[in-house]
Amino acid sequence: IERTLSIIKPDAVAKNVIGQIYTRFEQAGLKIVAARMTQLSREQAEGFYAAHKERGFFKDLVDFMVSGPVMIQTLEGENAVLKHRDLMGATDPKKAEKGTIRADFADSIDANAVHGSDAVEAAKVEIAYFFPELK
Ligand code: ATP
Ligand code: MG
């Protein structure tokens, strides 16, 4: 059974749609096995997105991720990583398929509502980053 890391980003938390997003996870058969609401420090956000450090959008990305509370969860289920990416839709909401979380709740490529691990190995690292206690 597979796990993935999900973050409901500050824009979606501010829009009051945590419940609607959770319902999509549950209806797709993804189980929430750990969850925490928190406001990320710059250090936490930079560490989490370290792979993007050299990209031009890195500072904007970090600024956005620390701009308000986020809801972080570990999801578990069959093919959790891919299933969750499918539910999320494309990074740029203008390109996201109808019915995906980003098509329905995201405003821009910066404020794009959700994060999801992009591979099983990345998921392991990301889950350990936020939920070191999770067995
Ligand atoms: P996330 O990692 O947040 O789930 P993603 O995997 O779909 O998103 P990544 O390529 O990992 O996309 O980029 C991380 C985040 O950086 C994106 O969610 C987006 O907000 C921002 N980003 C990515 N590409 C661009 C870009 N070309 N211009 C501006 N921001 C971008
Ligand atoms: Mg990514």
Mean pLDDT score, 4-32 = 98
3-state secondary structure the chain: CEEEEEEECHHHHHCCCHHHHHHHHHHCCCEEEEEEEECCCHHHHHHHCHHHCCCCCHHHHHHHHCCCCEEEEEEEECCHHHHHHHHHCCCCHHHCCCCCHHHHHCCCCCCCCEEECCCHHHHHHHHHHHCCCCC
Query: Which atom of ligand 1 sits closest to the CA of residue 51?
Result: 11
Q: What is the pLDDT of residues 84-135, one digit of tens each?
A: 999 999 999 999 999 999 999 999 999 999 999 999 999 999 999 999 999 8
The confidence score (pLDDT) of residue 63 equals: 98
At 135 the pLDDT is: 84
Residue of 91, 97, 112, 130 best suited for mutating to test ligand 1, as the one with most atoms within 8 Å of CB: 91
Question: Per-residue pLDDT tens for 20-73?
Answer: 999 999 999 999 999 999 999 999 999 999 999 999 999 999 999 999 999 999
User: 133 CA distance to ligand 2 centroid (A)?
Assistant: 23
Q: What is the mean pLDDT of residues 6-19?
A: 98
